[in-house]
Structure 1
Amino acid sequence: MTKTIAVAMGGYSSEADISIKSGEVVYQHLSSVSNYIVYRAHILKNNWFVKLDSGEEIPIDKSDFSVSINGQSIFFDCVFNTIHGSPGEDGLFQGYLQTLKIPQTACDYYQAALTFNKRDCISVLKAHGIKTAKNVYVNKGDDIDPEKIVNLVGLPCFVKANRAGSSYGISKVKKVEDIMSALEHSFKEDEEVIIESFLDGTEVSVGVINFDGEAKALPVTEIISENEFFDFEAKYLGKSQEITPANLSKEQTEEVQNLAVKIFKLLKLKGLTRSEFIFHNDQPHFLECNACPGLTEASLLPQQAKAAGISLQRLFSYAVEVAIDNFEG
């Protein structure tokens, strides 16, 4: 039976261009599935449209997420969600599609909002005994005492926008007098900031996906940044080494994979996800979880799928089938 799929890409944040790159990769691979008719759905702050191969942009009717092409109304059996940032990673888009009873490939709206909010996600996982960095929360407009912050988390430390991805709004701070400028940098992305202690150790990334009826951990990637940390340049401009599988012992690999699966289940996630950890004092410490991770050919999760022997066509089409089969409208 033919299925009509929309690959949603773009979003309202600084990550829109990266999301479109992910969406294009998904579009190309899903388009080769024989029983799929696939469309690119650009979800931008001021415009929602389907972009045809000709370049023509067809407005999306937000009342039912449909488009009219050559006088024919097109409705979608499933949406493949590749939107990084708001509204596709913070739950807004998921909630919208849920009300329209349209399946989508990412986690549900509450889980998306939780994982997108680093502070809330860490707080939940800490309650389950999962190790994290020491952290301090700051909101725009708060009275800020840099000395007090440093006394709590130490130096160096990381100042991060709470609800942002792709390393936007993040700084590594080595001197107390740089705290305020780092906060201003983060406040450009979000009014909430998280300040974390520096964890010295091996940084790794673990993809966890719904596959073959279970939560499956993919091979672990070790991240070695040429910069101070795994920032935008390291992620997207080749300023890092990404080693899959990671140079870990068998015991370390199993430990961090099991921890990633535990987090996937605790948070009731779905679809394709990726969690980041640092082995600090030989123990994995949780950094963050990406519920809509990058899916370009060079992104970490596709690298891990390849190492596991899973083609991108199979990875993406399986995500669609799971979303449709498990949808509870």
Structure 2
Amino acid sequence: MKLQIAQRHQVKLRIGLSGPSGFGKTYSALLMAYGMTNDWKRIALIDTENNSASLYSHLGNFNVLPLSEPFTPERYIKAIQVCEEANMSVIIIDSISHEWQSKGGCLEIHENLGGRFQDWAKVTPRHNAFIDAIILSKCHVITTSRRKVDYSIDKGSDGKTKVSKLGMKEVTREGYEYELTVNFEFLNDNHLVSASKDRTGLFAGKQPEFIINSATGKRLIEWSNEGISFEEIKKEINSCTTDEGLKLIYSQYPYFSKELYPLIVARKETIDNPTNQIIPNEQIIQQPNPQKNEFSIK
């Protein structure tokens, strides 16, 4: 355990857009993604909304991955992996609500197991794996989620049952917002939003309600690119010569833990077994061996 100086490093954005159906979540997500990439071909949209993404094909040549039921966490994870393997820059998941409350989603999985409290022990790890796939993705990720009116049923002092309206609630497991860089809530069908969660400091409390456009994405990507880059961290690993130094580097950048782990392991192997290092081409002297008809290595 050791104190260290805090450093700002470049991050992958995790953006949430939530609102009732018809408020403009998909359209806004696409405009934001374009502002982040300036290249429609680097954007992939995982479409769970009955091919609704086709309504916005006039915007540009973005990629679409249709996802139909069953909406299990594993199928979402596979869709994210397909987008990553295609070297997309931004993944839009439209929407994540189906993973929680739709055919094959977590609530149905729990119900099919018996609907008991202890049955969540089998469902929660599957949902958490889906959340981890978003958090640890090498791409920027924008998710949309539906919001609906939430009610509570209580008994009054007179013993009568009373239904109370609590406001709007996201259709996904509680706590998802805390995993996000920024969460935008749609306020009306005029596409106005406000930031209910903002780690960037760009929106919450600094500007009134606004409409998301490509400029929003540009502001976000500029913020995410501040600080030390992943390539600079890789150079730091390759120049490290001790196990303690590798441990320190790994602990300094928890956001990149998934990407850094194999690099750290490979570098540790090189430090621990220097004789197994691959000799660079420039160190291979092409000089015939007098005893054998082959080149020798020095």
Q: TM-score normalized by structure 2?
A: 0.34
Which structure's residues are more often helix, by fraction? 2
Flag the structure with more relative contact order, 1 or 2, with Cα contacts below 8 A and sequence separation at least 6.
Answer: 2
Which structure's residues are more often strand, by fraction? 1
Larger Rg: 2
